[in-house]
Amino acid sequence: MGNSASERHGHERRCEMAIANFQRTVYHSGGNLATGRVQYITRTGPYQSQAEARVLHQGFEADSEQVREDLVYWRARNLPAWAHDDPVTFFSAAEKRERSHGVAYTEWRFSLPREMTRREQMDGARDVLQSAFRITHPYCWAFHDPLAADGQRQPHVHVLWSARTLDGIDRPEDQFFRRANRTEPALGGAQKDPEMNHMGAVKAARVHYTDVVNLHLERGGYAVRLHPDSLSDREMDREPEPKLLPSDSNAYKHGRVTEQMQKVLDHRAARAPCAEQEQANARIYWACRSLALGLEPGMTHAQQLAQIRTAREHAMTQQPERPHPSLHALQAEVQRLEQSVTGLERYGEQMRTFLRREERLEHLREARDWRDEAAAERCLAEGKHHGLAPDAYAERVATQIEDWLRAQEHEQIGGRLQIRLHQQDKDRDRGMSW
C-alpha cells in the first residue's frame, strides 16, 4: 500500500513534478454532461464496465485484457435535501436549471505525491477539500490510483463542485438554482459565492492545494515539495512536458512507443539533470511560504491548517484588480506611436528616393556613385528599426562599401600629402624655404 514509516522518513526520492499539478474545468448549463461525468469519476452506473470506460473515456482498446481497478474512494458532501445524497441528481439538475450558458459546476483535478502512503494521500485530499468547501458548498469527489505508463502509481483526485451556498434555508430543486434574493433570501435561490469564481480564484485554489499538500509532505518527513507557479514565473529555462493521450500511455504499457510518447521520454531524459535544482527551488519556496503563513513547529496539525485556511480566505476575498494604465502612460504611448509612424513615413520616402535613382541609372546606364550605393544599402539595413525584417545582406554590403570608401579616401589623402611634400622640396631647392 505504500512506504513504511522507516522507509519514508528522510528518503530522497524526487517528486515527479515540482510544479503543482492542479487543473480546473468549467461546465456550463444546457448540456447533459453531469450524469456521465459523475458516473465516470465514481465508476458507477453504466460505466461499471471497465472496458466501456476505457473506450469512452480513456481511449483504451475495447478488447484490452488489462483490467483497471483504479477507483479507491468516492463520496458526495453538502448536497441539499432534495438531492437525497445522489450527486448525479444534483449536478444533472444544475446543468438543467442554471441560467442559459451560466456555470453549472466546476471540476478540479489534482495529483497527489507518489511518495506518500495511501493513508497520507487520503488525509491530504480530505484536508484540501474540507478547507476549500467547508459545509457550505456541494461537491462530489473521487480518488483514483491507476497504473501510470512508467509502471508506477498515479494517484489523483477529481472533484465536481458548485458555487451555490448552503445557508440553512430548505429550498426545493426548482428554487435552489434561481437568482438569489438578497433582501429576502428565503424567496430566492441559493447564493452563488462570488469569491469562488473571481479573477484570482484559480490561483488562490492552486496555492491552497499546494500549501496543504506541502504541509502533509513535511509532516510525513518527505524531502520533496510542490511549487504553485508555472515554469516561466519561476524563470525555469525549459519547456513543459508534452501532453499525452490515453492511447499513448496505453500503447506504452503494452510495449509500443508512439511518436508523442517518445517526445515525452526525450523530454524527461533532458530534464533529469535539472530535477534537483527545481526541487531545491520548491523547497526554498515552501520555507518562505511557511514563514508567511505563520506556521510554527509547536503548532498542531489543526492549527497549521487553520492558518492555511485563513490565508486562502484572504486570497479569495482580495480579488486582484485589473491593471489600468494611467492617463500619463496612455499619452506617452500615443506619442511613441506617433513618432513611430512619422519615422516609418520618413523611411518610406527615403526608400522611394533610392528607388527612383535606381530606375534612372538602369534607364540612362549612368555610372554608379559608390557613396550613393552605400547609402542605399544602409537604408535597407535600417528597416529593422521600423518593424521590418532584418536584412543581413544589406547590412554586410553597406559595411563592405563603407570600408572600401574609407580606404579609398585614406589613399587619396596620402597621395595629396605626397604631392604637397614634393612641392615643398622643390620650393626649398629654389631657396624659398624658411
How far is the C-alpha of 350 from the C-alpha of 163, rounded, in Å? Answer: 62
Residues 251 and 277 in one domain: yes
Residue 434 belongs to some domain of the structure? no
pLDDT of residue 162: 92
pLDDT by residue, tens only, the chain of 434 residues: 333 333 333 333 334 445 668 787 776 676 666 666 666 565 555 543 332 333 233 223 334 444 346 778 888 899 999 999 888 888 888 888 888 878 888 888 999 999 999 999 999 999 999 999 999 999 988 888 887 777 788 899 988 899 999 999 999 999 999 999 999 999 999 999 887 877 778 888 999 999 999 999 999 999 999 999 877 777 777 777 778 777 777 788 778 888 888 887 887 787 777 778 788 888 888 999 999 999 998 999 999 999 999 988 887 766 555 555 566 666 676 677 677 777 777 877 887 887 777 777 777 766 667 787 778 788 888 877 766 777 788 788 778 888 877 877 776 666 665 655 555 555 555 554 43
Residue 95 belongs to some domain of the structure? yes
- Cell digits for 149? 505508463
Residues 252 and 347 in one domain: no
Residue with cell 516561466: 232
Residues 99 and 246 in one domain: yes
Domain boundary among 295, 317, 339: 317
Residues 186 and 263 in one domain: yes
Residue with cell 485554489: 205
Comparing CA positions, the residue from 176, 144, 137, 127 lying closest to residue 160 is 137
Residue 377 belongs to some domain of the structure? yes
User: In sequence order, which residues have a C-beta less than 8 Å from that of residue 132 and are 6 or more positions away?
Assistant: 205, 208, 312
Print the domain residue range for 370. Answer: 327-429
Residue with cell 562599401: 401
Residues 172 and 68 in one domain: yes
- Cell digits for 234? 519561476
Residue 214 belongs to some domain of the structure? yes
Domain boundary among 317, 343, 372: 317
Residue 143 belongs to some domain of the structure? yes
Residues 186 and 298 in one domain: yes
Residue 322 belongs to some domain of the structure? no
pLDDT of residue 384: 73
Residues 80 and 177 in one domain: yes
pLDDT of residue 432: 45
Residues 311 and 333 in one domain: no
How far is the C-alpha of 209 from the C-alpha of 203, rounded, in Å? Answer: 10
Comparing CA positions, the residue from 165, 30, 160 lying closest to residue 107 is 160
Helices of type H across 72-117: 87-97
Residue 419 belongs to some domain of the structure? yes
Domain boundary among 261, 295, 317: 317
- Cell digits for 206? 492552486
Residues 253 and 356 in one domain: no
Residues 263 and 342 in one domain: no
Residue 303 belongs to some domain of the structure? yes
- Cell digits for 34? 453531469
Helices of type H across 318-391: 327-364, 370-381
Residues 343 and 221 in one domain: no
Residue with cell 503563513: 293
CATH of the domain at 188: 3.30.930.30
Residues 301 and 413 in one domain: no
pLDDT of residue 179: 93
Residue with cell 461525468: 37
Q: What angle do CA 171, 173, 179 make, to 5 degrees?
A: 70
The number of distinct structural domains making up the chain is 2
